């Protein structure tokens, strides 16, 4: 029975990925900054561990507690919606620490085992915003684009060791707490208020394609179980449409 470790499982995509793999008889290590075992169905194949991806000691303790794994899914992250002019540099640093450096640090923590085993899969969940720019997300997009670049080169480095690396790029989802948890700064500033209204109207358009949490779980499942899957896997109808436009 194979084991998957997923970061950021308290809600949203991470929670759905954990549920999806549990339902398919995998051993699941679901990690959260503040563990909440009750958000997942009871199972003898589930372990819920505390993990803060910005804390080296927390990473070390979680990886040691998890033991040998077959798959790492780097999903933890948050956004800041703000004109680039106003996003606080402290928030930019926090986003890079979580979204980018946290992903790199978690990957480094498991790679010795994967390399020695000659097997393993790393899946990094980033964003479809890296395929099509959307104003008011410049700093967030930068954190995810950096992960994309890291992932592409990581794949080349690890291929000789039998370790696969994939990117999953979700679109916009109203089903997650991602927007609720996002830092929103100066969106009502007179210089940018009109642009912000247009962006949010587009996001709230009921006829527009969106991403469901299960779309992301299915994309991660494909990345993990299908060796012929592409490096970049869009997740959700909107992400798939953007990927087609980018070709």
Residues recognised as catalytic: 140
Backbone dihedral region for residue 12 (phi beyond 0: left; psi -120 to 50: alpha; all else: beta): left
> C-alpha angle with apex 5: 3 to 8, nearest 5 degrees?
155
For the chain, the residue count is 247
What does the alpha-carbon distance between residue 30 and residue 13 come to, in Å, rounded to a whole number?
A: 12
Report residue 62 as tokens.
């979680």
Maximal CA-CA distance, the chain:
57
Q: Which two tokens stand for residue 58?
A: 């927390």
Distance of CA 170 to the CA centre of its chain: 8
**133: CB partners within 8 A, 6+ apart:** 141
Tokens linked to 59: 């990473």
């Amino acid at each position: 029975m194979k084991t998957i470790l997923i970061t950021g499982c308290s809600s949203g995509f991470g929670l759905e990925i954990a549920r999806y793999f549990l339902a398919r008889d995998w051993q699941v290590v679901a990690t959260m900054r503040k563990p909440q075992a009750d958000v997942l169905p009871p199972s003898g194949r589930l372990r819920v561990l505390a993990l803060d991806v910005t804390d080296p000691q927390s990473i070390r303790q979680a990886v040691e507690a998890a033991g040998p794994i077959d798959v790492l899914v780097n999903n933890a992250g948050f956004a800041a919606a703000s004109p680039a002019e106003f996003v606080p540099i402290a928030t930019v640093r926090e986003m890079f620490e979580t979204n980018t450096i946290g992903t790199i640090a978690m990957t480094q923590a498991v790679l010795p085992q994967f390399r020695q085993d000659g097997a393993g899969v790393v899946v990094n969940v980033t964003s479809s915003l890296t395929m099509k720019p959307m104003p008011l997300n410049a700093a967030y997009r930068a954190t995810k684009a950096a992960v994309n670049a890291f992932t592409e080169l990581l794949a080349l480095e690890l291929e000789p060791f039998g370790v696969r690396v994939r990117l999953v790029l979700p679109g916009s989802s109203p089903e997650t707490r991602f927007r609720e948890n996002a830092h929103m700064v100066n969106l009502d500033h007179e210089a940018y208020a009109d642009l912000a209204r247009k962006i949010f109207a587009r996001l709230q358009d009921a006829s527009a394609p969106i991403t469901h949490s299960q779309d992301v779980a299915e994309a991660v499942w494909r990345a993990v179980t299908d060796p012929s899957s592409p490096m970049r896997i869009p997740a959700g109808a909107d992400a798939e449409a953007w990927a087609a436009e980018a070709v």
